[in-house]
A and B are shown apart, each in its own frame.
Chain A
Amino acid sequence: MSLPLRSNRVIPLLALLALALLWCLDFVSIQPNRIAPGSGLGLLAALGPVWALLLTGLLLACGLLALWSPRPTYGPILALVWLLLLQLPASLAWSIERHIGADLPYARVGIGAGCWSLLFLLGLLLIELQQRLGLSRVWLLGSAVVLALLLGWLAGQGWLEPLALLREYQSRRSQFAAALSSHLALVGAAVGASLLFGGAIALLLQRYPRAHKGSIGLLSFIQTIPSLALFGLLIAPLSYLSAQFPALQQLNIRGIGWAPALLALIAYSLLPIVRNTCVALQEVEAGVIESARGMGMSPAQVFLQVRLPLAMPLIIEGVRVTSIQAIGLTAVAALIGAGGFGTFIFQGLGQSAMDLIILGALPIIVLALLADGLFSLLGEGFSSGARR
């Protein structure tokens, strides 16, 4: 079969892959209690023939719509993908309804690989559609928020009660809140501090361009140290300092805990911030700066009114990369007692409790996506004036 030239091949491929994984992998797994091994349920067993065929039909329709129309009609495909996404929580609730009765009060339902794959591939489909339709990134963010709200509502109604993830969460509510706040505090402090220091370094490098190569080299070198090693390396000097100066102990600065984690995070964050800020400040067109000076602006006015605003989108891009990186690295920082969602991941690994690991990993992914979306929006806002 020869494919029409204008047809989209990404969407059919993703839809087909989703279909294959959905049928081959377990959709959910059921454990009678937390310790007993679970048994996996395929799509048909989990959801019943009607729902399974409906899912299959929707995915096939996505692929065919993209393939067969001479100019793919992305609007209807988007609607189908949305429908598929929104039925996910409902399908979980439905499989719980089907399999968990009052006779199994401690039973837990784990989300299976098939379900995760569907979520992941639907995400890819949404990104593809967002780019084809030229939609703003707010759109992706909005879809995620709607999905989260729907999940929250279903959980609130008690329909997702036996979901293992939810059970893990419910027995750790306060720990979860603490992990969230310490994770955010570490990331916020690290990004904030490195924006301050990185900005200052970038400004100094503007003035002394000779130091540029060396400084970037040093920061790049730090970037190559594995994160765990850097956390470890900071333990010894901080322990020593803390032993020498009791005042530091009162601030809770010790070999382990938030202090080495924050230092390491700042060290990692400096490179993207310094590099982006340097490039951003240099890339401002020479003619624009020249005419700003020629109009009689003072050096401070040239910097604050012209150079900085024009560099802003790229600087924010640096902050975006840094935030996402810091959100991920903070997970590792849990190993040296810095708190954050990493705590759940490592606890889960220790207890080989998959759902606990997911309870730690999922919020990290969500935070990273949120940071990405927010800073992209901010960057777009800053550059909107300068663009067409």
Chain B
Amino acid sequence: MIELRNVSKLFGQTRAVDAISLSVQTGELCVLIGTSGCGKSTTLRMINRLIAHSAGSIRIDGRDIEQIDPQQLRRGIGYAIQNTGLFPHWTVARNIAVVPRLLGWPAARIRRRVEELLHLLDLAPAEFAAKYPSQLSGGQAQRVGVARALAGDPDILLMDEPFGALDPITRESLQNELLRIQAQLRKTIVFVTHDMDEALKLANRIVVMDKGRIVQQDSPQALLAKPANAFVENLLGGQERGLKQAGLLRVATLMQVLTTAAAPLAGPRIKATDNLRQALSLMLWHRCSSLPVVDEQGRQVGVLRLDALLDRPR
């Protein structure tokens, strides 16, 4: 668990972070979001002491981080940044092995760990272990960046706009990857982004920051339902809020279940695991007010009606 209490950071006369209090529960994926210069990155980097905080206290699992040697602290916290920050003169395997080597693991264990992580991030070890960062695509490099952050098996992961420089398709696949890994490993993750869609997709809790202060912190659903002020509303995309909210809900939650599964007739259909936003888009496209819902095997398990979307309680 990470607890920030009344933490401030002054750069000269400017208050980059202004007395914020925040606690991130173990296993939670907490997203810090805001416009550039709002202090979200500074907040993140105070947690692993890359930036020293000016006032307040930061505790990790109850221990004040100022009591911990900064290098020891950082070796226990995974760190991934935008543009990867991979070491260009080292191979992928050597890059991933940085923290385990710093921790003094035996060579055999490091080798096993590197291989395990390459598998976890869907990179074939035989193909990628010996490559240099310049030989990787942006998405592959970022996967290596995430693998490197996970290498020392830290409980906490700090991610500073890790997918910010990627194209939308690669970004989405890496977001899915992160969700999959998180479901598997249950790390405590603090994730900085300026992309609300990314925040809504990944977060258990979203912390909206503006001018060094926390404006609102809530679950994605609650944030969409009740934005605290115009700034948050604006960040949520104003008129597109409805769609964003629909994007968070699965078709299965609103469909009318069929008692007997059967193959549906030809025509548009939607999977139970898709979200309502995709369902709505399909309805608009095909000009229909109901869609057959199918499972992974393509058998119809229910029907989704437009009415159900409209009648949904707030």
Q: Which chain A residues have a beta carbon within 8 Å of chain B's beta carbons?
A: 285, 287-288, 290-298, 301, 306, 309-310, 385-388
Chain B residues within 8 Å of A285, by CB: 85, 88
Q: B85 touches which one: A291, A301, A385 (CB < 8 A)?
A: A291
Q: Which chain B residues have a beta carbon within 8 Å of chain A's beta carbons?
A: 48, 50, 70-76, 79, 81-90, 98-99, 102, 132, 134-135, 148, 158
The chain B residue sitting closest to A310, CB to CB, is B89
Q: A295-B98, A310-B89 are in contact. Are A388 and B50 (CB under 8 A)?
A: no
- Rounded to whole Å, the gap between the CB of A46 and the closest CB of chain B is 54
Q: A295 touches which one: B74, B82, B132 (CB < 8 A)?
A: B74
Q: A288 touches which one: B70, B86, B102 (CB < 8 A)?
A: B86
- Rounded to whole Å, the gap between the CB of A353 and the closest CB of chain B is 52
Chain A residues within 8 Å of B158, by CB: 294
Q: A296-B102, A385-B89, A385-B90 are in contact. Are A291 and B79 (CB under 8 A)?
A: yes
Cβ contact within 8 Å between B75 and A295? yes
The chain A residue sitting closest to B69, CB to CB, is A296
Which 4 residue pairs are nearest across A and B when measured between Cβ atoms?
Answer: A291-B85, A296-B75, A296-B74, A294-B79
The chain B residue sitting closest to A297, CB to CB, is B102
- Rounded to whole Å, the gap between the CB of B219 and the closest CB of chain A is 29
The prevalent SS among residues of A at the interface is helix
- Rounded to whole Å, the gap between the CB of B150 and the closest CB of chain A is 12
- Rounded to whole Å, the gap between the CB of B138 and the closest CB of chain A is 14
**Could you give 9 example pairs across A and B, Cβ below 8 Å?**
A291-B84, A291-B86, A294-B158, A295-B79, A296-B70, A296-B74, A297-B102, A301-B102, A310-B87
Cβ contact within 8 Å between B132 and A288? no
Chain B residues within 8 Å of A290, by CB: 50, 81, 85
The chain B residue sitting closest to A284, CB to CB, is B88
Q: A290-B81, A385-B132 are in contact. Are A296 and B73 (CB under 8 A)?
A: yes
Chain A residues within 8 Å of B102, by CB: 295-297, 301
Chain B residues within 8 Å of A294, by CB: 48, 50, 74, 79, 81, 85, 158
Q: A296-B71, A309-B89 are in contact. Are A287 and B134 (CB under 8 A)?
A: no
Cβ contact within 8 Å between B134 and A386? yes
Cβ contact within 8 Å between A288 and B88? yes
Cβ contact within 8 Å between B85 and A386? no
The docked-state distance in angstroms from the alpha carbon of A298 to that of B70 is: 9
